[in-house]
Amino acid sequence: MGQGQEVMAAYLAGGDDIVRMARGFAANASPLAKENRVLDVIGRNAQWRGRECLNLIAPEALMSPTVRRALSSEFSQRAAEGEIGDRWFAGQAYIDELEALCVEYLKQCFNANYADHRLVSGMVANIAVYTAFTQPGDTILSIAQPLGGHSSNRDDGPAGIRGLRVVDLPMDPVELVVDVEGFRRAAERERPRLVALGASMTLFPFPLEALRRIADELRFILYFDGAHQAGLCAGGRFQAPLAEGADVLTGSTGKTFSGPQGGVIAYSKPEHDRMIRPVIFPAVAATHQVNRVAALAIAAAEMLEFGRSYMGQIVTNARALGWALAQRGFTLLGAHKGFTDTHQVILDLSRGMRGYEAARLLERANIIANKNLLPGDRPADWARPGGLRLGTTEVTRLGMGLAEMARIADWFHWVLVAREAPERVAAEVRAFREDFQTVYYCFENGLPPNGAVEPRC
């Protein structure tokens, strides 16, 4: 058994075996061997995850070759602390120019008067919002996790760290949207300082204009946490949060935005800038990663050029995948509404195999997905929820379209229903991926040769 096979066997057995393997190697290997082992891991991962697998993880996306080069540029060795034009260090002329360009591109992407690029993750962006707009003891409304919410807006995340009282935001568990009348009653009763619209299971737009009217009456901050939807919003294929009434937008610069991992914040009111900017620096961002800013600026330029086509194909593919899975007997959330308006579709496996078991079985077939809570799941189901979340961002950027979504649905049926040997399917997936190695929707490679076609769902 080769080293890669040994590691994979240990991984499938559980995390403890991986830790024991690493501990034994680190205790006995020379420094050069230690370095070589890390390089070997990098190479094995690049081959498997990068060239042989179908990645349907919704929070992941491929970066363009130019964005990846920017991450390893000379900027990766530099530190920038302070504001553009007002730095703690000398030698910042080109860093100032780079960051000024990045800010302007982001403002254009999100139709905002202000944007900031220095947040090293979406979670840090959440922290900045809660620090700027709330005080410990304040009440907020946010979405509970079985209904699509995320810890970044709950008791076990930044909201809890800030000492906020978190109340569930009423959601319709069938329509998977905010229950506006229930929301009004909850807001009148709780008088929140802030309402967080943040979801990691996100299929349909928020009724922002209706919520804005309630926010104006009750005087709370309306916060759109677009961790997953930032690229869709920038590409004009979802909703325009700031134009529709949100006070502030945050998001991931990875995920649908398809740039380097990190966070972004955008807003338009000067009074909000006076509250947010001092929190970003010096409180939560000091010597941020300048190479990430370079990569983000390029990703933003790509979004401005290719975003509408790229994001449109992502949504088209997600709807087509949902339709193809339904045709093969799977149950999906939102089927009566066309499955999704985003990059995600959600499989409901609650009446059979659970999401955790399904994800591990698919992994053996070189298809990568993640378990996900469903509206009917209990807190006790956290480790083994009833659903699978699938995202089409990465496969779309590789040039896949409607025919490929149907083939992916076939493999899901073979593995999860027909119980074909996952290793047999893995061989087919590897052969299939040989024809999909080019990253599109970027200046190097342009658009894929096959155009977008709306599926008949």
Whether residues 30 and 128 share a domain: the answer is no
Q: Kindly report the CA angle at 156 between 150 and 159, in degrees rounded to 5?
A: 80
**Which residues touch 403 (CB under 8 Å, ≥6 apart)?**
none
Give the pLDDT score at 455: 43
What pLDDT is stored for residue 246 in this prediction?
98
332 contacts 374 by C-beta, under 8 angstroms: no
> How far is Cα 72 from Cα 295, in angstroms, rounded to an integer?
9
Side-chain-facing half-sphere of 86: CA atoms under 13 Å: 4
Residues 287 and 388 in one domain: no
159 and 19, same domain (yes or no): no
**String of DSSP letters for 15-61:** HHHHHHHHHHHHHH--HHHHHHHHHHHHHHHHHIIIII-EE--TT--
Q: Are residues 335 and 229 in the same domain?
A: no
Residue 180 lies in a domain: yes
Instruction: Give the total number of structural domains in the chain.
Output: 3
Rounded to whole angstroms, how far apart are CA atoms 176 and 172?
5
What pLDDT sits at residue 457? Answer: 39
Among residues 173, 180, 175, 115, the alpha carbon closest in space to that of 141 is found at 180
What was the pLDDT predicted at 454? Answer: 45
Global pTM value? 0.94
Residues 156 and 285 placed together within one structural domain of the fold? yes
| Residue 151: C-alpha distances to residues 122, 196, 231, 248, 285 (Å) | 12, 12, 21, 19, 21
- What is the pLDDT at residue 123? 93
If asked whether residues 244 and 392 sit together in one domain, one would say no
What letter represents residue 164's amino acid?
L
Cα 264 from Cα 299, distance rounded (Å): 13
Residues 146 and 252 in one domain: yes
The domain that holds 408 is classified in CATH as 3.90.1150.10
Q: Are residues 262 and 144 in the same domain?
A: yes
Domain of 159, in residue numbers = 65-300
**Cα angle for residues 238, 300, 237 (degrees, 5° grid):** 10
Residue 54, both tokens: 């179908």
Q: Is residue 47 part of a domain?
A: no
Query: Which of 275, 300, 325 is the C-terminal boundary of a domain?
Result: 300
- Asked whether residue 55 is assigned to any structural domain, the reply reads no
Tell me if 336 is assigned to some domain.
yes
Amino acid at site 225: D
Residue with tokens 């939560």: 284
d(CA 160, CA 50): 36
* Spatial separation of the C-alpha atoms in residues 4 and 40, rounded to whole Å: 9
pLDDT of amino acid 209? 98
Residue whose token pair is 């034009």: 85
Question: What confidence score (pLDDT) does residue 16 get?
Answer: 78
Which CATH number characterizes residue 208's domain? 3.40.640.10
Statement to judge: residues 86 and 202 lie in one domain: yes
Same domain, 92 and 233: yes
Please report which helix (H) or strand (E) contains residue 387, including its range: strand 387-391
Question: Does residue 325 fall inside a structural domain?
Answer: yes
CA distance 113 to 111: 7
In a domain, 48, yes or no: no
Q: How confident is the model at residue 13, as a pLDDT? A: 66
Please check whether residues 296 and 346 belong to one and the same domain: no
Question: What is the model's pLDDT at position 456?
Answer: 42
| pLDDT beneath 70: ranges in the chain | 1-6, 8-15, 451-457
Task: Determine the Cα–Cα distance for residues 430 and 436; give it in Å rounded to an integer.
Answer: 10
What radius of gyration do the chain's Cα atoms show? 22
Tell whether the torsion through CA atoms of 417, 419, 420 and 423 is positive or negative: positive
If asked whether residues 323 and 264 sit together in one domain, one would say: no
SS3 454: coil
Tell me how crowded residue 133 is: count the other CB atoms within 10 A of its CB.
21
Residue type, 295: A
Last residue of a domain, one of 300, 317, 342: 300
Does residue 24 form part of some domain? yes
In a domain, 295, yes or no: yes
